[in-house]
Amino acid sequence: MSVIVENIFWILIVCGTLNLSTIIFLFAPAAAFRASFGETWPNSPGATIVARTAGAMIAVVGVLLILAAFEPQMRLWVLIFASVGKLVFAGSILGQAGRYRGTQAFSAAIVDLLMVALFMTYLVAR
C-alpha cells in the first residue's frame, strides 16, 4: 500500500490522462462509438447529445484527477467522485459482458475497476 501512496502523483496523472481520451466523443461521437462498442452508431440527435456530454464529463473527471495530483486537499472528493462514475460504467459494461467482450469498452471497464482499486487503496492507506 505504501507504493501506491508514494506514487499517487503519477497514478493520478496517468489515470487522468486516460480519462482525457474520451474527449474524442465530443468531436467525433459516431467514430468513437463504433471504436468503443463495436456497434453501428445510433444516428439521432439525442444519441449525439448523450455521447458528447458523456465524453466531455469523463474528460472533466480526467482534468480533476490531474488537478488532484497537484492539490492533495482535493483528492478525497475527486477520488470518490471518479470512483462512483467508474463503477457505474464498469457495472453497465460488465453486466452485458457477453455483448461487449473484446471491445474497447470492455477493456476500459476493466481499467476503470483497476483505477477504483488504486484510488480506494490510497484513501484507506492515507
Domain range summary for the chain, segments of one domain joined by +: 2-125
Q: 118, 119, 117: which is closest to 74 by C-alpha? A: 119
Under DSSP, the state recorded for 22 is: G
Query: pLDDT digits over 15-34, tens only?
Result: 999 999 999 999 999 999 99
* pLDDT for residue 97: 78
Give yes or no for a contact between 122 and 116, defined as CB atoms under 8 angstroms apart: no
Residue 69 to residue 12: CA distance in whole angstroms: 5
Distance of CA 51 to the CA centre of its chain: 14
* pLDDT for residue 12: 98
Is residue 105 predicted with pLDDT exceeding 90?
yes
* pLDDT for residue 98: 87
One-letter amino acid at 67 equals L
What confidence category does residue 93 fall into, taking pLDDT thresholds of 50, 70 and 90?
A: very high
* pLDDT for residue 1: 78
* pLDDT for residue 41: 86
